[in-house]
């Protein structure tokens, strides 16, 4: 097996080996892939984070050894900054929230033989508290990010990319697409039993799952539709007050987090994690 890492801010993953083909997902800086098949300058990749398969331009990836992959997967942090420059000796590389910072020590990280200085906030997801308060703090950072089919960054994100990234930041892997995400979690029978952080899934007229969002307190939902926005939710679905109509029909609610009696409130992301552990840089 051969592997590679994304050395750029955002790299598109496409449905076929062509710049003209549909973008189905994205790689963020520092994310790793397995290389499966090559056609000219295009390579079929399997994302090691979520097993998603698609095509990427080989020129936008950097090869990694199996040893490097193992190091990266065990020792890394994720950027909490919506947009921040990582400083190399000769240039600055813009990276987004959710970017992977291999071997980050609080000031520097190292990728593919290059050293970068990073002055923003980052978090070790494997040590973070996995509760709804932290999840929703992170989700709200994406508010007003424009909708983009296949997107996973604050400059363009789709509904399932948004839910996936929010959960990734607290160390919980979920699948890439809404139709895949609905297969996970625990079924919640009634909306009255739902808790903040639950995933709500919505269907089209043919009964297919086509949309997903994250439940907020007070019968609200945060989701990517036109932009990452907050709307009202009831047992019918999402009600957009600006349009004065329902825009998405509710199908099912799933719980990924543990049951919570009283979700704790956090004043800021500075409070993430156990104070006795170094999880926030």
**Do 281 and 125 form a contact (C-beta atoms < 8 A)?**
no
Q: Where in the chain is the domain with CATH 3.90.1720.10?
A: 132-255
C-alpha span between 259 and 125 (Å, rounded): 20
Would the pLDDT of 113 be above 90?
no
pLDDT at residue 277 in the model: 38
Would the pLDDT of 96 be above 80?
yes
C-alpha span between 212 and 163 (Å, rounded): 7
C-alpha span between 206 and 245 (Å, rounded): 20
> How much of the chain exceeds pLDDT 90, in percent?
84
Superfamily of 132-255 according to CATH: endopeptidase domain like (from Nostoc punctiforme) (3.90.1720.10)
pTM value is 0.91
- Indicate the pLDDT class of residue 128, thresholds 50, 70 and 90: confident
Residue 48 C-alpha from the chain's centroid: 14
- Indicate the pLDDT class of residue 278, thresholds 50, 70 and 90: very low
**166 φ/ψ angles, rounded to the nearest 5 degrees:** -60, -45
2-123 is classed in which CATH architecture?
Answer: Roll (2.30)
Q: Where in the chain is the domain with CATH 2.30.30.40?
A: 2-123
DSSP 280: B
pLDDT digits (tens, 9 = 90+) for 207-238: 999 999 999 999 999 999 999 999 999 999 99
């Amino acid at each position: 097996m051969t592997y590679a890492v994304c050395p750029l801010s955002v790299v598109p993953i496409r449905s076929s080996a062509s710049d003209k083909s549909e973008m189905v997902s994205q790689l963020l800086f520092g994310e790793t892939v397995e290389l499966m098949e090559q056609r000219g300058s295009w390579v079929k990749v399997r994302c090691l984070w979520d097993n998603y398969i698609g095509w990427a331009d080989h020129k936008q990836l950097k090869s990694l050894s199996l040893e490097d992959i193992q190091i990266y997967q065990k020792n890394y942090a994720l950027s909490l900054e919506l947009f921040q420059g990582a400083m190399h000796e000769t240039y600055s590389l813009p990276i987004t929230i959710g970017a992977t910072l291999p071997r980050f020590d609080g000031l520097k990280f190292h990728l593919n033989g290059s050293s970068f200085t990073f002055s923003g906030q980052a978090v070790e997801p494997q040590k973070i508290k996995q509760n709804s308060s932290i999840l929703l703090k992170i989700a709200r950072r994406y508010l007003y990010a424009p909708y983009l089919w296949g997107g996973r960054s604050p400059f363009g994100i789709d509904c399932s990319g948004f839910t996936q990234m929010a959960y990734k930041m607290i160390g919980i892997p979920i699948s890439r697409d809404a139709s895949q995400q609905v297969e996970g979690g625990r079924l919640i029978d009634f909306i009255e039993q739902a808790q903040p952080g639950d995933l709500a899934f919505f269907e089209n007229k043919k009964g297919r799952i086509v949309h997903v969002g994250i439940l907020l307190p007070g019968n609200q939902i945060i989701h990517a539709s036109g932009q990452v926005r907050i709307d009202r939710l009831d047992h019918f679905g999402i009600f957009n007050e600006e349009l004065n109509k329902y825009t998405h029909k509710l199908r099912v609610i799933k719980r990924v987090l543990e049951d919570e009696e009283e979700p704790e409130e956090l004043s800021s992301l500075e409070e993430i994690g156990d104070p006795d552990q170094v999880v926030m840089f």
